[in-house]
Structure 1
Amino acid sequence: MPSWLPSIPYSPAGEGYWSPVTSTLNWCEEDYYATVYAAEIVNTLTNLLFQFLAFKGIFNCLRHGHDTIFLVTFVGYFLVGTGSFLFHATLKYPMQLVDELSMIYTTCLMFYATFSHKKSRKTSLIIAFSLIGLAVFITAYYHYLQDPVFHQNMYALLTAIVLFRSIYIMEVNMRPTLRRRREVHKAIEGRQGSTGEQERCDDRDARILRNMWIMVTFGLSIFLGGFGIWTLDNVYCSTLRRWRREIGLPWGVLLEGHGWWHLMTGLGAYFYITWGIWLRHCLDGEQDLYELRWPSSFTSLPIILRAGGGEARLNGSVVQRVEAEAEQRPRQRNGALKASLDKKEL
């Protein structure tokens, strides 16, 4: 490494407080080179991002009144980060199960949120018990096999199903629904001779769908980028370990691929859950009650909040007024249309 760049030599890898290793996986980061209390210090500390984003999501759900299923999902997201923290700190098999199975369970929560929306109580219960049965099967079979490839394949499959189902809902269900709404609204407004509200709704819906796709693309790119770095970390582990020791600390930390996987998948998962919250509100026809707050793609994180921001949560009369106006507009239009038709008949 350049002589002008200060560095600290790596200590030899060895035994630590949690030795011996009992997990079926041991990552490319060397064990106990920085402290005896954490087997993989970088892989351990990068999970703090999961916990920070989980608290951020839980706070936003409570403050802005998002559906309970997303609150529970963020709790599961917190458990994923906590389980991964404990797993990489100890490299113990029970902590490995906490880490990996919490990923499956949290994905099952998003699966339920995606597939049960606007379904009958009976159908929702069938979906819920089916997912519970699936989670129990994956848990038991994975514990029997103790093969990480099985877990990775099941996690990837569930994640892909939920992602493509959400995109399907957004494009095939939500977009035609909004279009039909606009067509009916246009016919009513046309008879009244007013197009201002129609233009506003058109602009709003086009902006929402465009921003949704930006969020999906951004989050998915981060997630897949993290997966790519993790793959390189596995394939070129011996080379990366040699490079780390050559450049020393703290610069060698930048070559910890699994740590980058934690950071990037944590962000990608947060983007996906936030998108799910926004999609749910739009499917419920609440586009005027909730809005996306995302000032910058690279320096801030997106959140979904009530129109007017946090004040709307504190001032219930504001929310009630907006909801009442949203409910009243269709009644007024329908009443005006009926009066107009009655007049023509007379």
Structure 2
Amino acid sequence: MPSWLPSVSYGAPNPGGYWDPVTSTINWCEEDYYATPYAAEMVNTLTNLLFMYLAFLGVQSCRKNGHDTIFLVSFIGYLLVGMGSFLFHATLKYPMQLVDELSMIYTTCLMCYATFSYSRTRLFSLLLALFLISLAIFITLYYHYLQDPAFHQSAYALLTAIVLFRAMYVMEFSLRPSLKQSEEAYRVREGRSMNKEEKVVSREMDRRDRKILGTMWTMIAYGLSVFLGGFYIWHLDNKYCLLLREWRRELGMPWGFVLEGHGWWHLMTGTGAYFYITWGIWLRHCLNGRQDEYDLSWPRVFSPPEVVRTNKVANGDLKHDTSKKQI
């Protein structure tokens, strides 16, 4: 550690933390109770505050902009993930581990319902809801029986992949002008043709949808890259744990906090999950044909995006909020 850079020595881990004994089935690379007796893993605990902040933004956005209720519930589930993880890493207690890990499964099931139930019959939606509830119960009970974190991680990864690829498929085939059924083709089959003004409007709508798709793919690439990047850092944290602990102690606090890989996992996966729910909201509005009623506000790369309602003006045109850059 450079002598001119101030730091605080880590000191010995406290064997008698406030929440002792540890009852969770998994522990992480961050040393226990080295900074305070009231939080087993300080960095892993505090990085969950990002979940709570983004969940608050998401809930407020849903209420303010009139997004579907399923997304409001999803953001509440996202909040529970952050709170559960906060309590788990602070205490390393098994019940808190279940709150953390199972809330991830339940929130993903909610997004699965939002993705697969769209424009389906009420009977299909009911059967899907019953299936997902049964699946969540099965994962809960079987995980409690196995107490193997690998099972939870595999179930979560599989559910997430299914929902993500299904949503991308729906996005492409519902918005891509070359793939979706065009209004002109429909009118031809009906024995009618579009007049010149209608063709102009149709071309404008196609340009609008191509622009929206481009931004959506940028959003997906950004969110997925951040999410997978967090997973990779977590993998390195597990693989090189002993070496990283040595480096942290050499650096001292707070510089050693930068090498807490699981903390980066929280920050990056929390960001990626927020991007995914926001993308789902925007996609739902587009599927409902309301592209002109909502915009994606994403003023900076490192700022959280938000799907915002546009304001109507008297002549029927749309007046956009220009206080933020719309992309």
Query: What is the TM-score with the length of structure 2 in the denominator?
Result: 0.91
Comparing both structures, which one devotes a greater share of its residues to helix?
1
Residues 173 and 179 in structure 2, CA contact (< 8 A), matched pair in contact too = no
**More off after superposition, 137-146 vs 197-206:** 197-206
CA 1:242–1:319: 2 relative to 1, 3 Å? farther
Match among 217, 232, 249 for residue 245 of structure 1: 249
The Cα of 1:322 is off from its aligned counterpart by: 6.8
Alignment partners' CA distance in 2, 1:304 and 1:189: 35
The CA RMSD over aligned residues, in Å, is 2.1
The amino acid across from 2:274 in the alignment is Y
CA 1:138–1:5: 2 relative to 1, 3 Å? same
Partner of 1:47: 48
Is it true that 1:7 corresponds to 2:27 in the alignment? Answer: no
CA 1:244–1:186: 2 relative to 1, 3 Å? farther
Alignment partners' CA distance in 1, 2:65 and 2:102: 30
Alignment partners' CA distance in 2, 1:73 and 1:122: 22
Alignment partners' CA distance in 2, 1:22 and 1:167: 40
Q: Which runs of 5+ in 1 are unaligned?
A: 313-317, 324-346
The Cα of 1:193 is off from its aligned counterpart by: 5.2
- Matched-pair identity in %: 65
Matches within 5 A, 1:236-275: 236-275=240-279
Partner of 2:25: 24
CA 1:135–1:179: 2 relative to 1, 3 Å? closer
The Cα of 1:200 is off from its aligned counterpart by: 2.4
The Cα of 1:190 is off from its aligned counterpart by: 5.1
Q: Deviations over 1:175-214 (max 9, x none)?
A: 2587433535998885245654234212211110000000
Matches within 5 A, 1:182-261: 183-184=184-185, 191-192=195-196, 195-261=199-265
Alignment partners' CA distance in 2, 1:238 and 1:307: 53
Residues 44 and 88 in structure 1, CA contact (< 8 A), matched pair in contact too = yes
Partner of 1:333: none
The amino acid across from 1:9 in the alignment is S
Q: Deviations over 1:102-123 (max 9, x none)?
A: 0000000000000000110000
Residues 290 and 306 in structure 1, CA contact (< 8 A), matched pair in contact too = yes
Alignment partners' CA distance in 2, 1:169 and 1:234: 36
Residues 189 and 198 in structure 1, CA contact (< 8 A), matched pair in contact too = no
Partner of 1:304: 307
Residues 177 and 209 in structure 2, CA contact (< 8 A), matched pair in contact too = no
- The number of residues matched between the two structures is 314
Q: Which runs of 5+ in 2 are unaligned?
A: 319-327
Alignment partners' CA distance in 2, 1:98 and 1:70: 20
Alignment partners' CA distance in 2, 1:322 and 1:55: 32
- Structure 1 runs of 4+ aligned residues shifted over 3 Å read 176-179, 181-190, 192-196, 318-323
Alignment partners' CA distance in 2, 1:195 and 1:97: 56
Residues 292 and 304 in structure 1, CA contact (< 8 A), matched pair in contact too = yes
Matches within 5 A, 1:170-189: 170-175=171-176, 179-181=180-182, 183-184=184-185
The amino acid across from 1:3 in the alignment is S
The amino acid across from 1:271 in the alignment is F
The amino acid across from 1:23 in the alignment is S
